Amino acid sequence: MIVTKRYKKKVTKVIVILGGIFLLHVLLIVFYGVFAKDTKSDLIVILGNKVELSGTPSKRLRARLEEGLKLYQEGVAPRILVSGGIGKEGFDEARIMATFLSDRGVPVESIIQDNHGITTYASAHNTKIILEEMPGSSVTVVSQYYHLLRSKIAFQKAGVRTIYTSPTKFHIELRDAYSVVREIIGTYYYIFRSYEVK
């Protein structure tokens, strides 16, 4: 009976500690993303997301595009890089994103398409290559608030030294709970993995 009580206390203590660590990481990711601020840079990078079967940007992708468009109109950067891959729905995310922006007044010559940005790491790697072929070295990365910390780590590892991040308009969805947990795992994976893009 005594052993059982001691065991329960130890288990409870471990659970409390792990819960505290988890909560700390959640707060770190959320606070970094929510309070991230944009500033003048050389290139706005909008990270891709799902395109619906109808061929239109998903709600999350549209939020990213609208934020990137707003930053461009405010003069944060003279060019926009749209980076995404070809999703399971069969659409080229970068092309859909570029069309969305050009339909809203962004000159085609101000939009750079990267259709090999299948992961955040790949987008960062491709951005580095693109920056080497144009003047400037700073980028403003646009994504949802919970994705920004991992994005910054990826871009830094790719050698993009000057990075600013800008969250989409803040709103909470039920799916965010899954996304935040995924970002905790992904952030540590990005921190400890070696930099390479196949």
Whether 121 maps to a domain, the answer reads: yes
Max CA pair span of the chain:
75
Tokens of 154: 């990826």
Overall average pLDDT of the 172-186 stretch: 75
Any idea what the CATH number is for the domain that residue 99 is in? 3.40.50.620
Overall average pLDDT of the 174-185 stretch: 76
Domain that holds residue 61: 2-192
Whether 34 maps to a domain, the answer reads: yes
Task: Tally the domains of the chain.
Answer: 1
What band does 96 get if pLDDT is binned at 50, 70 and 90?
very high
d(CA 93, CA 47): 9
Please report the pLDDT score of residue 172 as a whole number.
66
Whether 146 maps to a domain, the answer reads: yes
What band does 106 get if pLDDT is binned at 50, 70 and 90?
very high
Q: What's the number of CA atoms in the CB half-sphere (13 Å) around residue 164?
A: 17
Please report the pLDDT score of residue 170 as a whole number.
65
Overall average pLDDT of the 134-141 stretch: 88
Please report the pLDDT score of residue 1 as a whole number.
47
Please report the pLDDT score of residue 58 as a whole number.
92
In this structure, which amino acid lies at residue 60? Answer: R
Q: Does the pLDDT of residue 165 top 70, yes or no?
A: yes
Q: Does the pLDDT of residue 143 top 80, yes or no?
A: yes
Overall average pLDDT of the 138-163 stretch: 89
Whether 198 maps to a domain, the answer reads: no
CA dihedral 115, 118, 120, 125 (to 10 degrees): -60
Q: What beta strand segments (E) does the chain contain?
A: 43-47, 80-83, 111-114, 138-143, 162-167
By mean pLDDT, which of 43-47, 75-79, 115-119, 189-193 is the weakest? Answer: 189-193
Overall average pLDDT of the 19-45 stretch: 76
Residue pair 49/93 in contact (Cβ under 8 Å)? The answer is yes
Whether 10 maps to a domain, the answer reads: yes
Please report the pLDDT score of residue 33 as a whole number.
66
What is the tens place of the pLDDT at every residue in 31-42? 666 677 767 899
